[in-house]
Structure 1
């Protein structure tokens, strides 16, 4: 026992003593579910998108040709990755196994990010929440972009924070590479990288930025002009017509099938915002602009409902008139309360600038869901979950610290009173 006590105090300051058991826990949870599905005879879950990705990867291995449709271009990062994995391992089940291992081991990134912003207790709590997250486990069983994208986002943010913490250029290069890869991994990557760049701008020193532009103004101007010329040549040559046409078609489909019906999710629900849409095309001869401007008030109402729905469907069915309803509300609202406490404590303790990267990652996933639609299984919200867990963990950490302080103070008073009366 004394030896174990000595070993604990010798290594308690080292992250590995916490990372290894957390990684093993996360692996155990994910792989247990993987082998359950593998041996159950039910097979692994699929969606329509799953089959599209598999068919595309099979065609790419044969034809080596990438089209100019929106899905070809905006998902090129994931399509190529899936094609390479299938070319090497042949079996989609092997790809799912790799996804689950990568998702499980990403708990290390959750721990490291929490340590860089907060402290060890927060890191442990956030890692446990991530390890037991059903959403993370579920989406790692599908052949979809989500699982790898979550891990890629965690890696990108870790590299960004590590660069600011250590100043080593290797982390800056890794952040740039992962950010560029996210841009073409899936459409949500564009919004996510935009929010991460906003965090970079917040962290920048204005004087340094101005000095950089003054020093390299000719080079920056030349690159910008060259980019404009290339864009003009490509557009004038009608090379991107298939991409533009497919983007317009998908935008119209979302407007007329989701916006016009007032859907919160990708299918009808009892919580949708029903209204009579105005289909008049009278703004710059644009169907998209006309629909948004002519229906702006209803669209704002729809966005508001989606913002509420992101918390969970339970917000629309709150019942405070019964004991069961109150208990249900308390259970579902507990994570929300912990998130709010964590956010308030971040601001109160002067950690806003450093921790704002968490809010950027969360906002990116929320904005994507609000602008387009929320997947009925909350898949599009999943990339923000690890960062919600970290914020929630900090809220729990602050409550634990408060309980410790109050307990010590109370116990101290009891001991003092006991000593006083004994005298």
Structure 2
């Protein structure tokens, strides 16, 4: 019996040394796939669990006024094949057409919600890939975990028939194609990026601002000289396109084709002005934290009601913007309690993600990664500006597109904190006169430094 056990031990020892290197090389080759499998399953579990909870509940899936409008418009688009000239018809044409196609195929809106729920869950792959391309694998792992378990708005808005869920997915896809194109210089990624960016541009009004900020990132990444060389090389083509756009705009304006669009845009601008700015609202409805004042409605500048309102009430509008900037962090900023130990602990819990976000920002500047990773901060600033100028939805719906990028920034901040903790632990260990700590710490630090420098 002992001889048999000894022979088996010898064979196992031989197999271990024979297959150790091939198995390790195979793991190194597919380790991202190995890491992604559990995150994909976790993300699907979290999103689909909420989907089936709503499906089996008496209330069913939540609906808003916008939801009913989108469904009615999509059904009208399927029946009549005509697009209106109102602002919501034209500026949301990308989402309206997509929803109409999905309803034409699936018939039932529940299937559309299921598709966008699965799509939102699978976007954890894009979060992982973007974080890894910009920083390192540890950041990707932390960001993926946050996306799975700590991004409730992503789960919430995937249960509504609204433009938000698909917009977030397409935005992540656009950034992924952009980074792959800039890294590999392959034309296939370039074509995919341009196509996705153009679709984002017509998906909804926020997509226009998003694409402009993506263009700003390209300007930062490639430098002014490269852009000037590109403009000089293709000046005739660019001039022809701009001239064609100018002529088409003049023709449409003079012919009155754009009158319904301009009228609806002016109506919506006045509605925001009189219903939100004039009442000093921070959100899309009244709250105890609003800035109440008596607005000056005189129209005395450039014969424009909007410009006159902003100039005459600039001091009050500045206060509103300041409060919105504070509210963008979260509703918890209004309920701070520093008079009790429980309130201090709760504040620490709420502030910690913001602390990691700014740690990630500072670390990217210090480690000379800001230029490449500036797409993260631009996407967050893009959403921030949109919320400041218009309003922050009471349910923070308009902040949702920034959440995946905030998660990646927090992930990098967490990575830097972990790296610093490992270095401090190693220093303390040596100061105590002990031998070097476990090789795991050395290997982990070496891997992080290699990923950081590479």
TM more than 0.5: yes
**Any unmatched runs of 5+ in structure 1?**
419-423
Normalised by the length of structure 2, the TM-score is 0.89
Take 2:306 and 2:174, find their aligned partners in 1: how far apart are those partners? 33
Corresponding residue of 1:39 = 56
What secondary structure, in the 3-state scheme, does the structure 1 residue paired with 2:434 have? helix
Corresponding residue of 2:83 = 66
Mapping of residues 188-337 of structure 1, within 5 Å = 188-337=206-355
Corresponding residue of 2:157 = 139
Take 2:344 and 2:29, find their aligned partners in 1: how far apart are those partners? 42
Take 2:76 and 2:221, find their aligned partners in 1: how far apart are those partners? 44
Q: Say which is worse superposed, 365-374 or 402-411, in terms of deviation.
A: 402-411
Take 2:37 and 2:315, find their aligned partners in 1: how far apart are those partners? 52
Runs of 4+ aligned structure 1 residues displaced above 4 Å come to 1-9
Which of 151, 154, 163 aligns to 2:169? It is 151
Normalised by the length of structure 1, the TM-score is 0.95
**Structure 2 contact 83–89 (Cα < 8 Å) conserved:** yes
Take 2:20 and 2:259, find their aligned partners in 1: how far apart are those partners? 69
Take 1:17 and 1:169, find their aligned partners in 2: how far apart are those partners? 29
Q: Is 1:392 paired with 2:410? A: yes
Give the superposition deviation at 1:213.
Answer: 2.5
Go from structure 1 to structure 2 and tell me whether the alpha carbon gap of 1:341 and 1:59 turns closer, same or farther (over 3 Å shift).
Answer: same
- 1:57-87 CA distances to partner (integer Å, 9 max, x unpaired)? 1111111110010000011100100000000
Take 1:118 and 1:236, find their aligned partners in 2: how far apart are those partners? 51
Give the superposition deviation at 1:284.
Answer: 1.6
Take 1:145 and 1:84, find their aligned partners in 2: how far apart are those partners? 14
- 1:166-192 CA distances to partner (integer Å, 9 max, x unpaired)? 011111111111111111111111111
Give the superposition deviation at 1:35.
Answer: 1.1
**Structure 2 contact 200–208 (Cα < 8 Å) conserved:** yes
Which of 92, 103, 124 aligns to 1:86? It is 103
Take 2:46 and 2:61, find their aligned partners in 1: how far apart are those partners? 16
Q: Is 1:405 paired with 2:423? A: yes
What secondary structure, in the 3-state scheme, does the structure 2 residue paired with 1:98 have? helix
**Structure 2 contact 283–391 (Cα < 8 Å) conserved:** yes
Corresponding residue of 1:121 = 138
Which of 71, 77, 80 aligns to 2:94? It is 77
Corresponding residue of 1:107 = 124
Which of 95, 110, 123 aligns to 2:112? It is 95
Q: Is 1:11 paired with 2:27? A: yes
Go from structure 1 to structure 2 and tell me whether the alpha carbon gap of 1:8 and 1:37 turns closer, same or farther (over 3 Å shift).
Answer: farther
Which of 170, 175, 182 aligns to 1:164? It is 182
Corresponding residue of 1:421 = none
Give the superposition deviation at 1:396.
Answer: 0.6
- 1:74-115 CA distances to partner (integer Å, 9 max, x unpaired)? 111001000000000111000000001000000000000001
Go from structure 1 to structure 2 and tell me whether the alpha carbon gap of 1:417 and 1:78 turns closer, same or farther (over 3 Å shift).
Answer: closer
Give the superposition deviation at 1:253.
Answer: 0.1
**Structure 2 contact 429–435 (Cα < 8 Å) conserved:** no
Give the superposition deviation at 1:9.
Answer: 6.7
Take 1:5 and 1:372, find their aligned partners in 2: how far apart are those partners? 59
Which of 191, 195, 198 aligns to 1:177? It is 195
Q: Is 1:28 paired with 2:45? A: yes
Take 2:361 and 2:225, find their aligned partners in 1: how far apart are those partners? 30
Mapping of residues 366-385 of structure 1, within 5 Å = 366-385=384-403
Go from structure 1 to structure 2 and tell me whether the alpha carbon gap of 1:320 and 1:83 turns closer, same or farther (over 3 Å shift).
Answer: same
Take 1:191 and 1:76, find their aligned partners in 2: how far apart are those partners? 16
User: How many residues in Structure 1 have an aligned counterpart in Structure 2?
Assistant: 418
Go from structure 1 to structure 2 and tell me whether the alpha carbon gap of 1:30 and 1:8 turns closer, same or farther (over 3 Å shift).
Answer: farther
